[in-house]
Chains A and B, each alone.
Chain A
Amino acid sequence: MRVRVEQTPLPGIGVRHDLVTSSGRTVGVVSHRNGRRDLVLYDVDDPDACLASIPLTDDEAEALADVLGASLMLGQLAGLRQQAAGLLTEQMAITAGSAFVGRRLGDTKARTRTSASIVAVLRDREVIASPGPTFQFEANDVVVVVGTRAGLDGVTAILAGEHG
């Protein structure tokens, strides 16, 4: 389900991103031009007013993003494991000399060829969960793949460039 994030410029201050959750609450982030950011929660009774505006430092924002991203990925992996036994998870590194550096995830055609899925990419201690087909690989990315043994071996082969 696509979530619509609205972007509103605040002239002289920065930019505000907000989204409305399915439960009807609105949450947003105000990114100041000087690097500061505020997490804002809107009032239920008065949807134009901020109920709380919490300033976050860079580290706090990173930690929050990690917690949200990690819980998302763990949720996906746990969900997969529950659905089908016999599925394995493996982490594969895209080395600097790999043919896929700078190419898109869709070019691997991993799911079509092997029925294994690339569920996340780890880059610089950052978790990018559910990368789309337009996602571009960079050197030293670690790809998290889920599939059967045969599927995982197939993806290893693709990433090593054997099927071109």
Chain B
Amino acid sequence: MHSTTTILLVEVGALLFALGMLGRLGRRVGLSPIPLYLLAGLFFGRGGPVPLSAGEQFISVGAEIGVILLLVMLGLEYSASELIGNLRSAAPAGAIDAALNALPGAGFALLLGWGWAAALVLAGITWVSSSGVIAKVLGDLGRVGNRETPVILSVLVIEDLAMAFYLPLVTAVLAGVGLVGGLKALAVAVVTVAAVLVMALRYGGTISSFMSVRDPEALLLSVLGLTLFVAGVAAELKVSAAVGAFLVGIALSGQVAHHATEILSPLRDLFAAVFFVFFGLSTNPADMPRVLLPAFGLAVVTMLTKLLTGYLGAKRVGIALPGRLRAGLALMPRGEFSIVIAGLAVASGIEPELAPLAAAYVLITVVTGPMLARLTDYGWFKAAVHRMATRRRRPEPLPAGE
């Protein structure tokens, strides 16, 4: 017993230290740490050069907590009124986003002969852009004030809300209950999410007043405890732990949400890193070369569809050409949600090639996406856009926002 614990400490400690150093290296180069964590997982996992042994169970629990924390922080970021307000104004953009990006993934899976369940999973993987990476890119490039940014953010909000319905559906389908069972799970999810949103709108203040804002320790323990509890209950009810956590985040608002975000951030960073590593650990690097070309092809197609999504979404609210391109390019990276969905598939063991394909796909998009987003800042690009604009009529004055 003792020796396993010490080996665990040594392995997990070395792993976390390595992740820290990798993250630091990544920041220097302007790279998001997500691909580095995935690569670390590939390196240290089964079939990799330096396989870990004792830490795997600890890491798998940590990964589960990582997903829960990622989702609760996402829920804390948005208020119920923001979600509903966004839904109304950006619904068409969200629908375009879903159609243009989920269908290629599903089609690709069916083309490879993978079956409907895998098609559903791959559709989700190619659909959802990474809110975390995109927010960081927008901040780094100083685009938070840009007029196309609300369009980008609205699309992300609708995707996140859609996940609250998609995850239970996919969990049920992967559990093998078939189409009818999946629809039943979807119906339950719709009712639950609607109920929580209504409750958060009406009684949000009362719920939040249960948590003590003044004592950070009490707040940390109560919010974390509540989140894990609700996530566990949700998982028991086959609604997916991630959605339970997301709903807890939505239900909390105001000062409590603000303080909880501050307190949970370090935990989220730790366990999210563990989550990404765990996904890499459970993927065999020997499977990667085979899926590299299909993953690249899928990445190219779905990055173009995201570009189109952003372009159309920005055009709808009257943004000029450069802004439309910026919006499309910004939406390209996939990240945490795609890995979460792939992780669900891996846990159910439906299609063994899905995990390496998803890993390669996310690696490609999360590395090239932020690089491509900088494309519009180059001098030659701006000059070309200026030439195109002067060649046509001068664009009419544009209203900003809805």
Chain A residues within CB distance 8 Å of chain B: 6, 8-13, 16, 18, 28, 30, 33-34, 38, 40, 42, 45-50, 52-53
Interface assignment of B235: CB less than 8 Å from any CB of chain A? no
Main secondary structure of the interface of A (DSSP, over half): strand
Contact check, B322 vs A48: say whether CB atoms are below 8 A apart: yes
- List the B residue with the shortest CB-CB distance to A49: B146
User: Which residues of B (308-339) have their CB < 8 Å from a CB of A?
Assistant: 319-320, 322-323, 326
- The interface bits of chain B over 288-324 (1 if a CB of A lies within 8 angstroms of the residue's CB, else 0) are 0000000000000000000000000000000110110
Bound complex: CA A120 to CA B85 (Å):
38
Contact check, A50 vs B146: say whether CB atoms are below 8 A apart: yes
Bound complex: CA A8 to CA B146 (Å):
11
| Given A6-B401, A49-B326, A50-B146: A11 in contact with B258 (beta carbons within 8 A) | no
Name the distance in Å between A46's Cβ and chain B's nearest Cβ: 5
With beta carbons under 8 angstroms apart, the residue of A8, A13, A30, A46 that contacts B400 is A8
Name the distance in Å between B332's Cβ and chain A's nearest Cβ: 18
Contact check, A48 vs B320: say whether CB atoms are below 8 A apart: yes
Find chain A residues with CB under 8 A from B135 CB: 12-13
With beta carbons under 8 angstroms apart, the residue of B85, B144, B323, B398 that contacts A13 is B144
- The interface bits of chain B over 67-98 (1 if a CB of A lies within 8 angstroms of the residue's CB, else 0) are 00000000001100011011000000000000
Find chain A residues with CB under 8 A from B323 CB: 46, 48-49
Contact check, B153 vs A49: say whether CB atoms are below 8 A apart: no
| Given A6-B401, A34-B258, A49-B326: A11 in contact with B144 (beta carbons within 8 A) | no
Contact check, B148 vs A48: say whether CB atoms are below 8 A apart: yes
Find chain B residues with CB under 8 A from A16 CB: 145, 150
Interface assignment of B143: CB less than 8 Å from any CB of chain A? yes
User: Which residues of B (131-189) have their CB < 8 Å from a CB of A?
Assistant: 131, 135, 142-150, 153-154, 156-157
Interface assignment of B374: CB less than 8 Å from any CB of chain A? no
Name the distance in Å between A157's Cβ and chain B's nearest Cβ: 45
- List the A residue with the shortest CB-CB distance to B257: A33
Name the distance in Å between B147's Cβ and chain A's nearest Cβ: 4
| Given A47-B320, A47-B398, A48-B148: A11 in contact with B153 (beta carbons within 8 A) | yes
Interface assignment of B386: CB less than 8 Å from any CB of chain A? yes
Contact check, B131 vs A53: say whether CB atoms are below 8 A apart: no
Find chain B residues with CB under 8 A from A11 CB: 78, 82-83, 86, 150, 153-154, 156-157
Find chain B residues with CB under 8 A from A38 CB: 144-145
With beta carbons under 8 angstroms apart, the residue of B82, B157, B319 that contacts A48 is B319
Contact check, B145 vs A50: say whether CB atoms are below 8 A apart: yes
Contact check, A47 vs B145: say whether CB atoms are below 8 A apart: no
Bound complex: CA A13 to CA B78 (Å):
9
